[in-house]
Chains A and B, each alone.
Chain A
């Protein structure tokens, strides 16, 4: 340990302190891998957002007149947003619980997270049918295409997260996690927070901006 180790600060005081560490002092491999995967997913959505902003700048009025009031920020989609944001809280509570070896609260919170995630997907699916009824479809000009592509791929990512949460619940109920071994729980929770952040950006840009 050199005198320069102050540069990294002690593990306990750095923002990555909360994440699982391995014996040599770095973040555990699966957690690091998931964080890097998340940075790659940021760039995937970047390409889709790039198309959105380009389409928006090239097509006036935006929204088009026939869809002026179709995407209302206050309504079913706000309920879905609140549900997804809440699920991030329950997810983090689950992680905190397993870190102090409280298996019961961990299972409870992670199961609630899973349920909230499924509810979000169902609400989104229902919202899609409402929008279809108002004429907003994938083929409805760039407005429709960008809306459904962005929210659709976000939904696909939520679905992937739901599968991962289900695996965590299953393995959790089989007693496979403890305060010292819970890499998968942390990795999945990081992914889930990411999916939530993307939704907040999507919701703000598509509905409010």
Chain B
């Protein structure tokens, strides 16, 4: 009787310390609502294409405007996560690592363009207090 095949799998194969790009975006998205009194929230939509790529869309959502959505940016990544491509302001930006992604997302959400968009949404809903609060945070 042949001997059973040894277990070749590494002991730590079932554990992963990786944060996927989607998880990173979701963490960032979850922080917006508290800063706008839930008037403008952020969400991440994920889809997969027939090309084997995963698409992550970072969208602002305004529940009071019949769940109006504004797509701020999106990225696509392979199953191996990096390098990925992020699309913002009409430009494809290459992102090589988790650190670079976090830096880029920080830059986008802190940009004057994003601030202007969120303030415009707050104004549409008629939430001057929140709008001023956000502006005063500089």
Q: Do A and B come from one complex?
A: no
Interface residues of A (CB under 8 A from B): none
Instruction: List chain B positions with a Cβ less than 8 A from chain A.
Output: none
